[in-house]
A = this chain, B = another copy of it.
Amino acid sequence: MNQFHTVGKRIPKLDAMDKATGRSQYIQDLKVPGMLYGKILYSKYPHAKIVHIDTSKAKKLPGVRGVLTGYDIPEIKFGVYKDNRPLKAGKVRSYRDEVAAVAAVDPETAEEAISLIEVTYEALPGIFDPVAAMREDAPLVHEAHKTNILKMPWKLHYGDVEEAKKKAAYIVEENFSTTWVTHCCLGASGALAWFDYADNLTIYSNTQIPSLAQKDFIDALDAMGMKNRRVRVIKPLIGGGFGSKLDTYAYEYIAILLAHHTRKPVKIVFDRQEEFIATSTRQPTLTRIAQGCDKEGKLLFRDISMILDNGAYTSWGATTPSVMMMPITTLYKVPNVRYEAKCVYTNNTYAQAMRGYGNPQATFAIESSMDMLAEAAGIDRVAFREINANESGYVSPQNFKITSCGLKECINAVVRELDMDRPKEKGEGVGMASLIHVGGGARVYKSDGCGTIIKVDDFGKVNVFTGASDMGQGADTVIAQIVAEELGLAVDDIHVIHTDTDVCPWDVGAHASRTTFVAGNSALGAAKKIKAQVLEVASKILDTPEDKLVLRDRSVCSMEDDTRTMEFGKLLRKAHFSRSGRMLMAEHFYDPANENLGRDFRGNLSMTYTFGVHGVRVKVDEETGKVKILDYVAAHDVGKAINPMLLEGQVYGGVMMGIGYALTEQILSEKGQCMNPNFRDYKILTAKDVVPMKAPVLESSDPDGPFGAKGIGEPGCVPTAPAIANAIYDAVGVRIKNLPMTPERVLAAIREKRGIDLCGIQAGKDTGDACVVEE
C-alpha cells in the first residue's frame, strides 16, 4: 500500500541516540570563553510602585561584572502589544516582573549578587479576577491603557444566531472554564548572547521562531542605538517547545543588554522554579456557550462568549481567540455562529501560545456542549456527530475550505477501536470528542513561508538547510525522509541543518502544526530541483531520456535497461569532475496559498485542515471522585503519515498532555503568585501515568501536502478534556465544566447530584480555583 521507500517508514528520530546517550548539547551545556552568567531579580509584589533600587552592594561583590535595572536601559518594548519591557521601571505588575539583573563570573556569584539588591516597593492593590478587572473602578494594570480590557477585536457573527435560536428545536447553554497550565518543557529556557566588535549580535536562544526573534532583536538593537546591525539567532537543541518559545521574552533581552553592558558573552538559564514562575501559560478562559439544533439533530447555531485572563502583559495568549474561532465556526457544520472574546489585564502571570493555541479551551466547551445537546435532542452522541460532521468540499462560514477530510472515518475508528457499545460496569463510561485544526500552515503573519537550500556533496550526501525549527518533535527526521524519498536516498544520507538564521532561510516559526506541511513542501520543492539536475546530468551520462530514469537505492537507474545504472555519488563526481564541472545545489521558498483572516475573520487560514476524534473509556470511583482511564483511542486524519512512529509519538504525547490538562495539571495561583512551581505539586503526568492508548492513523492523502501529509503536532491534546468529561458524564451522570477535573471536583459534583455538599465547593458554579475574585 505504501508506494514509497522512505516516506511512511517508522524511522527513529535522527538525534534519538545522541539524546538517549547524553551526547546532545542543550543551552545548559553551552560554554564560550569569557562567558558570564546572568541572573534575574523578580518582583516581590504582584502590583507595586518601585520606590528605590539599591544595587551598590551587588556591584561591589567580587566577580560581578554588571548590574542593570529598568532605569539603566533604553526603552525596549516587546510582546504582541508592546506593553512589556525587559526590566521594569516605575512599577511592577506581576510577581514575574523583572526588576534587576546581574552578570557575574559564575552562577553562585550571580545568585548572591541578586540577593544583595535592595528594592523598596510601595504596594498597590492587585486585581486577579478578569471579571472584577473589567469593572470601571478596578485598579488599572496599565494606567496608560485607561481600562483593563484589551482593545482586541475578537468578535464575529456569521448568519443570524438570534433567528436560528428561534428556529431551534433544542438548545443547551452552559458555562465552562479552564485555568493556567504550563508547557513543562524538560529543557528549561535559556539564552546566550554576545556582540562582536561592530556590535553585531549573536544569540543562542531556545526559540521556535528564529526568524521572527531575529526581527525582535534587531528592533531591540535599534532601541539601544545600534542601527543596521546583523543579528544571528542560533537555536541550540531544544528540550521541548509546545508553543512556549513562540515569542521573545524578557530574559533574552536581558542577556542581550548584559552582554552589551559587559562586552562579554552572557548566558541566562532558568532553573525549574523560574521556569514555572517566569515562563508563560496556556490562556485561562471563562466560556459561555449556547448551541441549538433542529429536530433532526442538525446544528443550527453556536453562540459563544469568553473572558480571557490576559495577565499583566500581552503575548500570544491574547490572540488565541483567532484560533478558537476555527473550532467555533468550523468544527461540524454550523450555519450561524457568534463569538466574542474579551482579554482582560490582571496582575496574574501572562499567557503564551501552547499546543493547540486556544483550540483545547474552545473544544472543551464545544464538545461538552455537543454531548449535552445530543442528550437534549434524544439523539445518540455518535449519530449526532455524524449528522453534523464536516466533509470534503465543505466551506465553513469563516470561509475555511475543507479539502481532505476524514472526520467521519475517525468517528467510525473510535467507535470500533474503543468498542463503544459494549456493556459497561458500574462507574464506567465512554466519551468522545472531535477536533479540527489547521493542517496546512496558518497564515497569521505576513508570510507563512519556509525556505530550503539543498547542497549535495561528491559522495551522495545531502545537506538541507531548512527554515524549520526542530524543538524535539522530529521535524529534521521528517524533512530528511521527504528529501531522501525524492532523491532515492537513505535518511542517513541527509543532514538537516535547522539551527542558525545565518544558514537557514526564513521561516515563520514552529507553530500551527505547520512544519511537516510547509517546511516539508519547501524541502520537497528544493529536492525536486535537485532531482531535475540529477536527471539532466544522468540523462547525458547514461544516454537515457530523463523520463526513463528513476532515482532509487542511492542510484540513478534506467527503467528499461538494467545495465544503465550509476551509483549516485559516482554520478555526482562525474558531473563535478568534468570541464565546466557542476555541483548540485538548489533553493526553494514555499509560501502556501492560504489567506490571512480579514477584518471579519473570514479567510482560508490554512491550505488544509486536520480532523480527529478521541474516544475514552473511564472508570470513576464514586467514593473518591478519582477518574481512571481504562482505554484511549485517538484517531486522526493526517493525510499521510510521513513517519508513523514519530506521528504516534506526537499523538501519544499530545494525548498525555491533554489528560494532564483534563485531570491533574494546574498552576495554583494565589493572588498572582504561583504556589506550586515544581513538577510534583503541579501534578504533571509521568511515564508511569501513561494510559492504554491506540492511535489509528487515517490517510486521506491531502492534495497539497508533501506526499499527501497534513500537520499533526497539536491535535493530540485538543479534544482530550471534553472526551474525558463526556465519559465521566456517561459513567456517573455529572458534567464537570471546570478544568482540571480533579477528584475533589468530580466528587463534589457527584455529591451535589446526590444533594450532598460536604466540601463547601459549589461544584459546577465556581469558575475554577484559578479565577478567584480578589476581595
Contact = CB atoms under 8 A, between A and B. Distances in A.
Contacts of A497: 502-503
Between A21, A214, A465, A583, the greatest number of chain B beta carbons within 10 A of the residue's beta carbon is seen for A583
Interface residues of A, number: 53
A23 interface: yes
A195 to B, nearest CB: 9
Given A449-B581, A459-B218, A577-B447, A197 B593 contact: no
Interface string A484-522: 000000001101010001110110000000000000000
A146 interface: no
Interface stretch (A25-33, A558-566, A643-651, A680-688): A25-33
Interface in A457-482: 457-459, 461, 463, 465
A586 B587 CA distance: 7
Contact of A447 (B214, B228, B581): B581
Contact of A458 (B215, B458, B459, B582): B215
A112 interface: no
Contacts of A459: 215, 218
A197 B13 CA distance: 12
Contact of A33 (B25, B218, B458, B461): B25
A75 interface: no
B587 A457 contact: no
A17 interface: yes
Interface in A684-738: none
A444 to B, nearest CB: 13
Contacts of A197: 17-18, 21, 23
A432 to B, nearest CB: 39
A44 interface: no
A420 to B, nearest CB: 43
Interface in A72-114: none
A579 interface: yes
Contact of A502 (B33, B198, B463): B463
Contacts of A218: 459
A274 B716 CA distance: 60
Interface in A5-35: 17-18, 21, 23, 25, 29, 31-34
Interface string A175-214: 0000000000000000000001110000000000000001
A457 B501 contact: yes
B583 A505 contact: yes
A580 interface: yes
A409 to B, nearest CB: 33
Interface in A226-240: 228, 230, 232
A591 interface: yes
A754 interface: no
Contacts of A449: 576, 581, 583
B492 A198 contact: yes
A673 to B, nearest CB: 37
Given A446-B577, A593-B580, A585 B505 contact: yes
A453 interface: yes
A589 interface: yes
A455 interface: yes
A451 interface: yes
A492 B465 CA distance: 24
Given A577-B447, A580-B593, A453 B18 contact: no
A505 B579 CA distance: 18
Interface string A324-352: 00000000000000000000000000000
Contacts of A492: 198, 228, 230
A171 B585 CA distance: 56
A503 B497 CA distance: 9
Given A463-B502, A506-B576, A23 B585 contact: no
Nearest to A29: B33
A194 to B, nearest CB: 8
Contacts of A505: 455, 583, 585
A591 B581 contact: yes
Nearest to A232: B495
A466 to B, nearest CB: 12
Given A465-B503, A497-B503, A589-B585, A196 B23 contact: yes
Given A23-B196, A503-B503, A453 B583 contact: no
B585 A587 contact: yes
Nearest to A196: B18
Contact of A457 (B228, B446, B506): B506
A298 to B, nearest CB: 36
A601 B232 CA distance: 48
A235 to B, nearest CB: 15
A497 B453 CA distance: 15
Interface in A521-567: none
A457 B447 CA distance: 13
B583 A589 contact: yes
Nearest to A34: B23
A589 B198 CA distance: 31
A772 B589 CA distance: 66
A635 B505 CA distance: 44
Given A497-B503, A503-B465, A503-B503, A580 B591 contact: yes
Interface string A637-679: 0000000000000000000000000000000000000000000
A269 to B, nearest CB: 15
Contact of A585 (B18, B29, B33, B453): B453
A34 B465 CA distance: 28
A585 B447 CA distance: 17
A23 to B, nearest CB: 7
Contacts of A461: 230
A232 B459 CA distance: 12
Given A31-B31, A218-B459, A457-B506, 20 more contacts: A17-B196, A17-B197, A17-B198, A18-B196, A23-B197, A230-B493, A230-B495, A232-B495, A451-B455, A453-B455, A453-B585, A455-B503, A455-B505, A455-B587, A463-B502, A465-B503, A506-B583, A579-B591, A580-B593, A581-B591
19 contacts: A23-B197, A25-B32, A29-B33, A214-B457, A218-B459, A228-B492, A446-B577, A446-B581, A447-B577, A449-B576, A449-B581, A451-B455, A453-B453, A453-B455, A458-B506, A497-B503, A505-B583, A581-B589, A585-B589
Q: Which 5 A-B pairs have the closest CB atoms?
A: A17-B197, A446-B577, A585-B587, A583-B589, A581-B591
